[in-house]
Structure 1
């Protein structure tokens, strides 16, 4: 990553980690809970990732989930500790985070995990991973619009953080973690129509190969490969 991009990315990461809206977003998220519904929002915003050789492919998620296995708990604790240091302006913590995240992401559910990287045949250091909303939640799955509907969380995070990061990254290719994220980007007036776009299909009735079929053409285009059959 060149020095200019890294410097600008660090400044955005610092603002995310020190987000002044965290308490307000937390209150809105809990205020939306239905009777008897279990809800939790992380005390620290989760980081985005930019690979050391980033060159135009961005994987976009809705918002982070929270840990549900031992290795996830350990990785989340380490990332949140680094985020607290980044919030205080610690550049070395940012460098450590970017080095650590590929190992952590190897254990995430799909696309950026070890299986997803192997199926799609891409180099994690050549991509960026960006969430529309930075704070991890329970529930952590489902439609992002529905999860935050009735709050200002999605639009606030987009305007304060995510739009600026995507403008910095200027992706040529976008792979959405789920199909509804493409619709969300359109609704946020992001010029998705100017970019090569695909998505991971999370439909449970599909095999893993079928779930990745709607994503493969983006990876093939990014690498200039013949389209996979």
Structure 2
């Protein structure tokens, strides 16, 4: 009995049989791959992406921005004319004593000055009720220039840079009792003189009575 071997066949028949075997193997591999991918279709990832997008919360809508613009209206101050009342901030006042120590027979003298620093001449009240000078010792008010003052002088015209000067002499007696009557004398010691006027300040002056 004779057995057919690959050596007994012609070359053409050999390669034909090889091609058939190779084609069968490729077909088997293709069927296996199709079976593994049967659980997922080409459109399933698309459906999952759409479901994920629909389940995601919508982005919050931005609130409108409101801008408030404030407008400030300024009213121009009226222009001052010569002869009008002085503006308090334009008047510089000063108070000074002639000496720091007064003997038993000396009377203290105080000099009050007011200077207009504004652009134009103006009127300013300089009487004792408007510009009061007080002398005290601690919490004890001893004397005041407005004590027993009757009325007050009319406002003076203060020209720019020209000081108004008023000199006050203290008789070393207390402001008490009736006007024109006898008054007790102040005791030796340290005293403070100061200006009392609304909106105006002057440096306090310290002096002593012997």
TM-score class, shorter? under 0.3
Higher strand share: 2
TM superposition score normalised by structure 1:
0.23
Higher helix share: 1
Question: Which protein is bigger by CA-based radius of gyration?
Answer: 2
Structure with more relative contact order (C-alpha pairs < 8 Å, separation 6 or more) = 1
